[in-house]
């Protein structure tokens, strides 16, 4: 008897709302993100999004939570370097993550830019956006830099993040939007950057 493949777990309402919000941000920008539009995109009864997130701030926070959740899957935990991984493992993990972003998750970059720009105009969203990103990405990267032998892990993590952000923006929405570096090209870039930070 052939075993049946388990049915996929239905998405929760907050997840459906978050996904719809991110899709609208990518397609229509911040002006296209409304409670009614999210209801329509998510296939939910009218008023569902307002019941979950009554204010625009609450809707934006829902979008940020889903953004962070999806981005955290781009670099899966088993591919993160361990304490003894060193710089080579760090280069492998980061080049893999960036290549995934630029080949399979470009929409996530666009929605992140929309949210980041809106956060510059909304102090309450800025705080929420920064705390969510710091807990998920900044802290682990600082720890990874320390494990790789950095003498200034916070400063080096900042430089590394800035390099990654600049490259992703250039390739997703900037002057190199039609170009996607290969995994090996990204690996070389990280090696050059880390060589200056870590020596060797």
DSSP label at residue 119: H
Distance CA 197, CA 135 (A): 23
Q: How far apart are CA 165 and CA 159, in angstroms?
A: 10
Determine the pLDDT at residue 1.
Answer: 44
Q: Where along the chain do its domains lie?
A: 13-198
Alpha helices in the chain (DSSP H): 13-28, 35-42, 48-52, 56-74, 86-104, 106-119, 123-133, 139-147, 153-172, 183-198
Please check whether residue 57 is in contact with residue 120, taking contact to mean a CB–CB distance below 8 angstroms: no
pLDDT reading at 6 higher than 70: no
- pLDDT for position 63: 97
- What whole-number distance in Å separates Cα of residue 89 and Cα of residue 79? 9
Polymer length in residues for the chain:
200
Comparing 1-5, 29-33, 130-134, the range with the smallest average pLDDT is: 1-5
Residue whose token pair is 């990654």: 164
2-26 burial: b if 16+ Cβ within 10 Å, else e: eeeeeeeeeeeeebbbbbbbbbbbb
Q: Give dist(CA 155, CA 170) in Å, integer.
A: 23
Reported as a pLDDT band with limits 50, 70 and 90, residue 83 is very low
Task: Write down the pLDDT at residue 2.
Answer: 47
Q: Domain 13-198 falls in which CATH fold?
A: Tetracycline Repressor; domain 2 (1.10.357)
* pLDDT in the model for residue 143: 87
Model confidence at 110, pLDDT cuts 50, 70, 90, reads: very high
């Amino acid at each position: 008897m052939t075993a049946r493949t388990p049915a996929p777990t239905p998405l929760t309402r907050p997840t459906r709302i978050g996904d719809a919000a991110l899709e609208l941000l990518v397609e229509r920008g911040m002006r296209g993100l409304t409670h009614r539009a999210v209801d329509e995109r998510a296939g939910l009864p009218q008023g569902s999004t307002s019941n979950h997130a009554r204010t625009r701030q609450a809707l934006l926070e829902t979008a940020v939570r889903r953004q962070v959740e999806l981005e955290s899957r781009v670099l899966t935990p088993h591919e993160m370097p361990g304490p003894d991984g060193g710089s080579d493992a760090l280069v492998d993990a980061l080049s893999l993550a960036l290549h995934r972003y630029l080949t399979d998750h470009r929409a996530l970059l666009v929605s992140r830019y929309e949210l980041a720009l809106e956060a510059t105009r909304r102090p309450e969203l800025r705080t929420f956006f920064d705390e969510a990103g710091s807990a998920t990405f900044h802290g682990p990267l600082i720890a990874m830099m320390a494990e790789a032998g950095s003498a200034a892990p916070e400063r080096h993590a900042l430089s590394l993040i800035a390099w990654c952000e600049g490259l992703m923006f250039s390739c997703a929405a900037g002057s190199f939007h039609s170009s996607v570096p290969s995994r090996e090209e990204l690996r070389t870039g990280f090696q050059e950057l880390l060589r200056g930070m870590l020596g060797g």
